Structure 1
């Protein structure tokens, strides 16, 4: 018997609340990708290793619009002064969510599992402090430097009501379980084809690793 989609989402929310990763497929007519999504505050070096070995895409941290405003984080294509940033058109969306790439100042190169885990977990703390109102752009600059090896993403102001990318899907999960508005997203790629891992392959990975797989449409239906 097929599992009810609301059961899958309920299990995804329970996992996220506990600090565990979930697999989220967006939409076949959008990116058509499955991302491994973590609460940023729960990420350690072993989790970064999983992301680079088992997913293989770009490791990013999505921050809510409110946090991004408090930290004065721009959209990257608004601040790049180069012809490549002109007419930055995407086939699947109106604009990119990319903001600055950062390293925590206590890292060395910033790329090791330990360095990226430190940057990611401290981003979660920064997001909490920014929402509390006692942490702004100058405080952020004292702790983080750019360029770096963890790419920041800006969530849409109304999340899923405005945009339905992995940035917003992950942040919606965090909001639903009272996690800080800082989530890690990383695309799952297929080693043989070099393309995005298929939903069937992503579901199989979830089963083999006792993780939850959920469809983006179910997240939008319940949390949008």
Structure 2
């Protein structure tokens, strides 16, 4: 819906997504056809239970990552991964959709076992969200170890004004919903083609599951 819909008092798709996120429930966001062209299921990290990790594995199927604000990443001393890897493959990424990868370190919480189970990953994710609320009080290396099974993504400094990936789209939604500056993102993949789920199919899934589906452009229009 348009800005005029908001001014008339009728809730927009973005309004509904913010309300859903505020309750701790997931949303589906399609970034853009001319970017990755992917839809991610996105949760506030504080709300990720083992059942949520299971849903992401089974209904999405992509890589389960936690995106945090750049300020939080700086407080934790988290680098961009490609800046600290001493290997020829860590050079130019030649990405077709962005200037650089937002990946930082993959971690496990120190209270986990292998780190890969639904219970372990949900614990790591929730602890990251708790730490992101008070990063200055977190001794990161005392709570987390790397390598691990939860990949951290660094959000751009000015979020959507700088970059328009799912990292920034999810974090923008978290800020609007007064959630911790940490969100879980996972790409939706098609079991038959092995490619990204088509936006119309992602929207159909979202409707069947009672999950809001929004386009990245709707968040950009609202917040940039």
Matched, 1:144 2:149: no
Q: Which residue of 1 aligns with 2:174?
A: 174
Structure 1 contact 40–61 (Cα < 8 Å) conserved = yes
Deviation string 1:69-119 (CA, Å, 9 cap, x unpaired) is 100100000000000001122011000000000000011110000000000
Cα deviation for residue 20 of structure 1 reads 0.3
Q: Is the 8 A contact 1:64 1:157 kept in 2?
A: yes
Q: Does 1:207 align with 2:207?
A: yes
Matched, 1:68 2:73: yes
Between the aligned partners of 1:78 and 1:207, the Cα distance in structure 2 is 40
Structure 1 distance, partners of 2:172, 2:92, is 29
The superposition leaves residues 13-32 of structure 1 with CA deviations (integer Å, 9 ceiling, x where unpaired) of 00000000000000000000
- Tell me how far apart the structure 2 counterparts of residues 179 and 120 of structure 1 sit (CA, whole Å): 14
Q: Distance in 1 between matches of 2:71 and 2:24?
A: 22
Alignment of 1:101 onto 2:113? no
User: What is the aligned partner in structure 2 of residue 35 from structure 1?
Assistant: 40
* Unaligned segments of structure 1, at least 5 residues: none
Distance apart, 1:134 and its partner CA? 2.4
Q: Distance in 2 between matches of 1:116 and 1:37?
A: 15
Aligned length, in residue pairs? 216
- Provide the rounded CA distance (Å) in 2 between the counterparts of 1:55 and 1:88: 25
Report the TM-score, using the length of structure 2 for normalisation: 0.95
Q: Is 1:111 aligned with 2:116? A: yes
Q: What is the match of residue 124 of structure 1?
A: 129
Partners of 2:79 and 2:63 lie apart in 1 by: 19
Aligned residue in 2 for 1:187: 187
- SS of the equivalent of 1:93 reads coil
**Structure 1 counterpart of 2:19:** 14
TM-score by length of 1: 0.95
Unaligned runs of 5+ in 2: none
